[in-house]
Amino acid sequence: MRPFDYQAPADAGTAVAAVAARPDAAFLGGGTNLVDHLRLGVAEPGLLVDVTGLLPTGISDDGGGLRIGAGVANADLAADSRVRRHYPVLARALLSGASGQLRNMATTGGNPLQRTRCLYFQDVTTPCNKRSPGSGCAAIGGATRQHAILGASEHCIATHPSDMAVALSALDAQVEVLGPDGERTLAFGELHRLPGDAPERDTVLEHGELITAIVLPPLPVAARSDYRKVRDRASYAFALVSVAAALEVTECRITDSRVAFGGVAHTPWRARRAERVLRGATPSDEAFHAAAAAELADARPQDGVDGGNAFKIPLLTRTLAGTLRDLARQEA
Amino acid sequence: MSETLEHRAIGADLPRRDGDRKVRGTAVYADESPAQDPVYCRIVQAPLARGRITSVDPAPAEAEDGVLAVLTPATAERLADTSDAEYAILQDDEVHFRGQIVAAVIAETFEQARYAADLVDVRYDEQPGDTLLSADRPDLYRPEQVETGAAPDTSEGDVDAAVAAGPARIQQTYTTPMLHNNPMEPHATTALWEPASHGGAGSLTLWDSTQGVHTVRETVYTVLGLDREQVRVVCPYVGGGFGSKGIPHQNVVTAAMAARAVPGRPVRLALTRQQTFSLAGYRPPTIQQVALAAGDDGRLTAIANDVVEQTSRVKEFAEQTVLPARTMYAAPNRRTSTRLAALDVPIPSWMRAPGECPGMFAPEVAMDELAHELGIDPIELRERNEPDTHPESGLPFSSRNLLACLRRGAEQFGWPDRDPLPGVRSHGGWWWGTGVAASVYPTMRMPVSEAEISRVDGRYVARIGATDLGTGTWTALVQIAADALGVAVDEVDVLIGDTDHPMASVAGGSSGINTWGSTLVAAAQEFRKRFGDTPADGDSARAGVPANEAAERYAMSAFGAQFAEVAVHADTGEIRVPRLYGTFAVGRVVNPRMARSQLVGGMTMGLGMALYENSLFDPRTGHVVNHDLAEYHVPTQADVADLRADWIDEHDPHVNAMGTKGIGEIGIVGTAAAVANAAWHATGTRVRDLPVTLDTVL
Amino acid sequence: MFLDGLSPERRGTLRRMDHELTLRVVGAEHRLSVDSRTSLLDALRQRLGNTSPKKGCDHGQCGSCTVLVDGVRVLACLTLAVTRDGSEVVTADGLSAGPPGSGGDHPLHRAFVDEDAFQCGYCTPGQVCSAVGMLDEFARGRPSVVTGDLGAAPELDDAEIAERMSGNLCRCGAYPGIRAAVARVGREREGTR
Ligand SMILES: Cc1cc2nc3c(=O)[nH]c(=O)nc-3n(C[C@H](O)[C@H](O)[C@H](O)COP(=O)(O)OP(=O)(O)OC[C@H]3O[C@@H](n4cnc5c(N)ncnc54)[C@H](O)[C@@H]3O)c2cc1C
Ligand code: SF4
Ligand code: FES
Ligand code: FES
């Protein structure tokens, strides 16, 4: 862990300027991912700019939706009564992540930007294109149980570990960003990128861009939504796969839905193909399986010394079916 | 027969004497021991499975602020005795396994040492590592003996003929993975070399996290070539060991070497969690081919377990996985064998119930399979195969209450109404099943231990260099000493955890209380013999552990039975264990609350073995890639639902004066098999490779 | 023999990236100078001699280092000390029925001993701090992932306690005792409310 400098500026503009000015600078949110990486040698910044004191920590009503300050702790967001009522999928996703202590520390801005839990990425003694571009990918042919089945490349097969991000992806959230060149807003679905030949870039954010808020649109379908996380251990473990789903059923037909997957790709995976199959269908296991099949048509499992991850295809299919079945029942 | 003590304090449900300190966090562990201006040591590990160090450049590290010394193979002191290759640290250029210590940095602050260790520039000539265990390697060999000293192989009658004759037979291969002890306190030492003391020869004090202070002293003085009296080891509290602190590992000797490099400065060396995965031992993976044959009446005609397991090339460790198949059930034809693959891997060592734990998994699942094939209840099957005497030695058991445990456990668990059919109970979106397995653990007493009892300020003070790993020694020995002296517990103090106290055996093999308790009883008898019932201040007597002659006439073991209820989610295959009950026959229980905690703790670790724990070893790199607690999954609070341990009232006059059999390990022994059997009963899918995970039952 | 801060001779060894900060630890104020890399855990243990919080993993994966910072349970290992200038830190040793550092037992201390909610004791101070923070979160009506109805206030049953305490691993497997201890104190509290 190399020495670094530390600043805690008073406002966002100063923080952005400080990071933008140094290629080896990084924002520090709750630190639950970044401090871990400093200690592993995965991240070696020369300057940390603490943004916890300057980011908004409030959640406000916003044209029927919610504006969530990037400094809001994961625990506070999950406890918010509006989130619990109108976006239960988000509350459940947050609550299924990490532990009580970590949720008290982790921030709204930091959570979607946490990096992969790929075992090799976290171990600086092994090659990893994401950590050291061009060094190779130790995961391919290694332990791949946790790795991607969708959208991977020959350069990287990592998955995105955030639960919250899967819910935000299903909810059509917006991300507000302050950069050296001013503010911009992007769709949450555009924030993360597939690995392609540049797995070192998890997101489309430029160096120095600071997430200041996440905005949830008004979304009636989200009132009946849920997050289902599957893991070996009952708690305090990352997802093998997860499903964020919202369902609206009118007169025995699915009139609207939102579906996103976690644990299967380099990004939270919005399942638009599945949503298209669901639209107009009668809620049934058949329809749910068809939706999963459509989304997973291009799935490519990995072999591995640990048995690989082909199980994720049936597992995700059945998890999606189970989640939608429960939501449809709730609906009735 | 040993003279059995009258039990007054033994059996009393007393709270722990060290409880207050532990709940406040003021109990002092190795890395926290008092030290004036301590410095910090950080090790550097080899990132390759096999090769040779071609150069080590300490200069970049030495240039860092606060760095006091860098130990390398070129600069480290020459050790006096490296006959145990594990302790040949920094003595040559060979790399025997990935994670081996190749340098160590000592600096003023923890942060400085950690960073400077990254800067030590070590170059290697890498050779291909041979790291993959498999049952069809051509170079498997038979060790001279297994860890306990027992023969690696045994054979009686003709197993193959009996299996061919049947009519019922099970022939299957079962595997257990590499597992890591992962005590919550990573291995740590504070070491101080004082060159002027011990008449100018120097003295070394180690505050070490260990299961045996005397064991550490024996190793360290030998390896460093010092006099025994030059080394003192102190360890009042240990944050768990589970076998991994049973012998000193490389970190302890490295800490001693570091201390000698910076005389007069206390050096703190705590392994990181990740480092413990390659340096602190582990349970080696096993491949077990079990054969059972039985008549239609369910009586076994043959039992065999042929075991293939791994050791490191640099030091042999032959886990005694074969032992349970020799002890548990009667059968005229019997065979066990041990074959090892010597690999370029970290050195295996003890993990809670070495041998018995993996070695009961395979046979106890096979028994479940046999019960199903025969259409006999698994408990009934075990009843029909209960031996009259020890199946191998022919000795009678000093007491054997396996059937009592099975029956009592069955009743408490609600086993009698069980529908034997697998994969037929589904409700609430889950598949449900139940399973049972038996447990065994030998009752041991170590040959060497000594205790001293003195009268001090009107109290009785016993001293013995024993250890408390959380097992309750601080309290239990007081109870034993009080009964041995015939006084109340509040008149007695017992001092442990320091080589300044008389020599005591390691806390291992569930032998602690058996050994130290017997020693205290002998010392108390000696004390009373010499000073009567009205001793004066300053009166003091010592005694060593008495040998147990009964051990030649009787086979001695603790037994138990675990019952598991498993629920498997119908959609996702997630596996949960709503109920896990254990009933044990462990002789007399010294302190019920502490005994229960130990048994529950053992069962919890067994639950982890059944469903989660798996050191993912990548044969390409030669290391465990999930080397942390985020990915090596031990059970969490949410994984443990209704988990209970209980025992039958067992009086065994032959084991020792207290009547104890040891309880540290038996809790884990049958648990994984019980859970795996229940998972089969829930789903109809038989999983023979641990851990049982959702993808195997989907 | 623990030193409150560093002895003057050693202070000179901390040249790079040092920061001055103030921490209130269990009621007492400390002014100290730390390396920016120093975690709150190491600052407490190595600099202030408060070894009540333990280091089980140093990566947020075990909960042994749990302390209360400004009343909230957090992991001291993933907290850089520099980020907590001016904060109030309470460790298991400092917990009491009254204000931090006022002495005496906290009900959880007693309950842990009575229920034998530990063996080796290494995870225990973290468990105790976590339980205090968790009961407070619970009292504020915060949900957990096992809360059936997110719209309603949760009930302090075994499943809720287990899930909320899952960030504190115990390799000794003292979970049933921990749950019983927390339930007892939690219910006593509910009773008095
Ligand atoms: C043991 C363990 C288990 C966990 N389990 C789970 C789990 O099950 N599910 C899950 O979803 N997560 C889990 N987590 C991860 C945790 O949720 C994340 O670490 C956390 O959400 C990150 O938020 P933070 O504020 O602490 O980010 P930080 O660690 O501070 O930062 C993360 C990254 O984001 C950058 N950053 C931070 N804030 C901003 C901002 N406002 N704008 C731009 N960049 C920013 C930082 O520079 C850094 O690169 C676990 C973590 C641990 C240690
Ligand atoms: S999968 Fe991606 S993150 Fe993992 S080793 Fe390969 S390149 Fe690195
Ligand atoms: S030491 Fe902080 S969570 Fe393990
Ligand atoms: S008491 Fe030992 S780890 Fe919890």
**CB of B611 less than 8 A from some CB of A:** yes
Find the helix or strand (DSSP H, E) in which A175 lies. strand A174-179
Q: What is the whole-number distance in angstroms between the Cα of residue A98 and the centre of ligand 1?
A: 10
| Parallel, antiparallel or unpaired: strands A269-270 and B121-126 | unpaired
Q: Do B594 and C56 touch (CB under 8 A)?
A: no
State the pTM of this model. Answer: 0.97
Q: What is the pLDDT of residue C27?
A: 86
As given in the structure block, the two tokens for residue B148 are 């306990």
| B30 burial via Cβ count (<10 Å: 0-12, 13-18, 19+) | buried
Q: Tell me the sheet residues that pair with B203.
A: B194
Give the minimum alpha-carbon distance from A98 to chain C in angstroms, rounded to a whole number: 8
Instruction: Please name the residue ranges forming H helices in C76-145.
Output: 107-114, 124-139
Q: Is the pLDDT higher at A293 or at B4?
A: A293
Q: What gap in Å lies between CA B103 and CA B543, rounded to an integer?
A: 44
Chain B residue numbers touching C58 (CB-CB < 8 A): 272-273
Chain A residue numbers touching B694 (CB-CB < 8 A): 230, 232, 240, 311, 315
**Which residues are CB-neighbours of B49 under 8 A, at least 6 positions away?**
B95, B97, B98, B129, B130, B131, B344, B345, B621, B622, B623
Q: What gap in Å lies between CA B311 and CA B303, rounded to an integer?
A: 25
Cβ atoms of B353 and B439 closer than 8 Å: no
Cβ atoms of A124 and C158 closer than 8 Å: no
Q: What is the pLDDT of residue C103?
A: 79
Architecture of domain B282-444+553-697: 2-Layer Sandwich (3.30)
Tell me which of C106, C145, C171 to substitute to probe the interface with B (most B C-beta atoms closer than 10 Å): C171
**CB of C113 less than 8 A from some CB of B:** yes
The structural domains of chain A, ordered by start, are: 5-49 (3.30.43), 220-330 (3.30.390.50)
B19-28+446-547 matches B282-444+553-697 in fold = yes
What end-to-end distance do the CA atoms of chain C give, in Å? 43
Please state the rounded mean pLDDT for residues B85-94. 98
Ligand nearest to the CA of A207: 1
Inter-chain CB pairs, A–B, below 8 Å: 93
* Phi/psi at B107 (5° precision): -140, 165
Please state the rounded mean pLDDT for residues A309-332. 94
Give the tens place of pLDDT for each residue, B201-258: 999 999 999 999 999 999 999 999 999 999 999 999 999 999 999 999 999 999 999 9
**CB of C187 less than 8 A from some CB of A:** no
Q: Residue C10 above 50 pLDDT?
A: no
- If you search the block for the tokens 């209450």, which residue do you land on? B401
Q: Is the pLDDT higher at B290 or at C3?
A: B290
Lining residues, ligand 2, CB within 6 Å: A 116, 118, 120-121, 128-130, 137-139, 156-158, 199
Give the minimum alpha-carbon distance from B71 to chain A in angstroms, rounded to a whole number: 20
As given in the structure block, the two tokens for residue B563 are 């019952």
Q: Do B619 and A305 touch (CB under 8 A)?
A: yes
Inter-chain CB pairs, A–C, below 8 Å: 111
Chain C residue numbers touching B31 (CB-CB < 8 A): 45, 55
User: What are the E-state strand segments in C70-151?
Assistant: 72-75, 88-90
Q: What gap in Å lies between CA B616 and CA B626, rounded to an integer?
A: 6
Q: What is the pLDDT of residue C1?
A: 29
User: What is the residue with the minimal CA distance to atom 14 of ligand 1?
Assistant: A98
Question: Which atom of ligand 4 is found nearest the CA of B239?
Answer: 2
Q: What is the pLDDT of residue A330?
A: 86
CA distances from B240 to B408, B654, C118, C168 (A): 31, 30, 11, 15
Query: What length is written for chain B?
Result: 698
Give the tens place of pLDDT for each residue, B539-589: 999 999 999 999 999 999 999 999 999 999 999 999 999 999 999 999 999
| Parallel, antiparallel or unpaired: strands B450-456 and B459-463 | antiparallel
Q: What gap in Å lies between CA B174 and CA C127, rounded to an integer?
A: 37
- If you search the block for the tokens 């060999």, which residue do you land on? B141
**Which residues are CB-neighbours of B213 under 8 A, at least 6 positions away?**
B233, B234, B235, B465, B467, B497, B498, B499, B504
Chain C residue numbers touching B630 (CB-CB < 8 A): 59-61
Q: What is the pLDDT of residue A331?
A: 65
At how many degrees (to 10) do helices C175-192 and C124-139 cross?
Answer: 40
- CATH ID of C107-191, from 1.10.10.60, 3.40.30.10, 3.40.50.720, 1.10.150.120: 1.10.150.120
Minimal-distance CA residue of chain A relative to C147:
A92
Tell me the ipTM for this assembly: 0.97
DSSP A111: G
| Parallel, antiparallel or unpaired: strands C66-69 and C18-25 | unpaired
- Considering only the beta carbons, identify the residue of B29, B472, B604 that sits closest to C122: B29
Q: Which fold has domain B19-28+446-547?
A: Aldehyde Oxidoreductase; domain 4 (3.30.365)
Give the minimum alpha-carbon distance from C187 to chain B in angstroms, rounded to a whole number: 19
**Number of helices and strands (H, E) in chain A?**
11, 12
Q: Which B positions 611-640 lie with beta carbon below 8 A of chain C? A: 628-630, 634-638, 640
One-character DSSP codes across B352-377? SSTTHHHHHHHHHHHHHHHHHHHT--
- Amino acid letter at B532? G
**Which residues are CB-neighbours of B114 under 8 A, at least 6 positions away?**
A1, B40, B42, C37
| A220 burial via Cβ count (<10 Å: 0-12, 13-18, 19+) | exposed
Q: Do A232 and B612 touch (CB under 8 A)?
A: yes
Question: Which chains touch B (3+ CB pairs under 8 A)?
Answer: A, C
CA distances from B162 to B170, B329, B369 (A): 12, 16, 18
- If you search the block for the tokens 């409310």, which residue do you land on? C193
CATH of domain C17-94: 3.10.20.30
Q: Residue C13 above 70 pLDDT?
A: no
One-character DSSP codes across A233-282? SSSSS--SEEEEEEEEEETTEEEEEEEEEESSBSS-EE-HHHHHHHTTPP
Counting ligand 1 atoms within 8 A of each CB, the residue from A24, A34, A116 with the most, and so the one to mutate, is A34
Question: Which atom of ligand 4 is found nearest the CA of C172?
Answer: 2
Q: In terms of Cα–Cα distance, which of C108, C88, C102 is closest to C44?
A: C88
Please state the rounded mean pLDDT for residues B143-156. 97
Over chain B, what is the mean pLDDT? Answer: 97
Q: What order do you get walking across the sheet with A47-50 strand by strand?
A: A5-7, A47-50, A25-28
Q: In terms of Cα–Cα distance, which of C153, C92, C156 is closest to C121?
A: C92
Cβ atoms of B47 and A125 closer than 8 Å: yes
Which sequence spans correspond to the domains of chain B? 19-28+446-547, 33-128+187-269, 282-444+553-697
Q: Tell me the sheet residues that pair with A216.
A: A66
User: What is the residue with the minimal CA distance to atom 3 of ligand 2?
Assistant: A121
Answer whether A109 contacts ligand 1 (Cβ < 6 A). Answer: yes
Cβ atoms of A317 and A311 closer than 8 Å: no
Q: Residue A170 above 70 pLDDT?
A: yes
DSSP C47: I
Chain C residue numbers touching A52 (CB-CB < 8 A): 83
Cβ atoms of B633 and B140 closer than 8 Å: no
Cβ atoms of B682 and B431 closer than 8 Å: yes
Q: Please, which pLDDT band fits residue A123 given cuts at 50, 70 and 90?
A: very high
Chain A residues within 8 angstroms (CB to CB) of chain B: 1-3, 41, 117, 119-120, 122-123, 125-126, 138, 141-143, 228, 230-238, 240, 305-307, 311, 314-315, 318-319, 321-322
Question: Which atom of ligand 2 is found nearest the CA of A126?
Answer: 5
Q: Do C92 and B470 touch (CB under 8 A)?
A: no
Biggest alpha carbon distance in chain B? 77
Q: What is the pLDDT of residue C11?
A: 41
Which sequence spans correspond to the domains of chain C? 17-94, 107-191
Give the tens place of pLDDT for each residue, B394-417: 999 999 999 999 999 999 999 999
Cβ atoms of C67 and C40 closer than 8 Å: yes
Q: Residue B371 above 60 pLDDT?
A: yes
Q: What is the whole-number distance in angstroms between the Cα of residue C41 and the centre of ligand 3?
A: 9
In chain B, pLDDT over 70 holds for what percent of residues? Answer: 100
What end-to-end distance do the CA atoms of chain A give, in Å? 55
- Considering only the beta carbons, identify the residue of C64, C113, C172 that sits closest to B470: C172
Question: Which atom of ligand 3 is found nearest the CA of C65?
Answer: 2
* SS3 label, residue B301: strand
Q: What gap in Å lies between CA B393 and CA C174, rounded to an integer?
A: 38
CATH of domain B33-128+187-269: 3.90.1170.50
Q: Do B571 and A321 touch (CB under 8 A)?
A: yes
Q: Which C positions 11-40 lie with beta carbon below 8 A of chain B? A: 13-16, 35, 37-38
- If you search the block for the tokens 């072999």, which residue do you land on? A303
**Which residues are CB-neighbours of B164 under 8 A, at least 6 positions away?**
none
**Which residues are CB-neighbours of B188 under 8 A, at least 6 positions away?**
B29, B30, B31, B208, B209, B251, B268, B269, B270, B271
Minimal-distance CA residue of chain C relative to A48:
C36
Give the minimum alpha-carbon distance from B551 to chain C in angstroms, rounded to a whole number: 31
**Which residues are CB-neighbours of B154 under 8 A, at least 6 positions away?**
B322, B326, B334, B335, B336, B392
Minimal-distance CA residue of chain B relative to C103:
B24
Q: Residue C4 above 70 pLDDT?
A: no
Question: Which atom of ligand 1 is found nearest the CA of A111?
Answer: 21
Q: Please, which pLDDT band fits residue C17 given cuts at 50, 70 and 90?
A: low
Q: What is the pLDDT of residue C192?
A: 67
Lining residues, ligand 3, CB within 6 Å: C 55-58, 60-65, 75, 77
Please state the rounded mean pLDDT for residues C59-88. 98
Q: Judge whether B574 counts as a catalytic residue.
A: no
Give the minimum alpha-carbon distance from A52 to chain B in angstroms, rounded to a whole number: 24
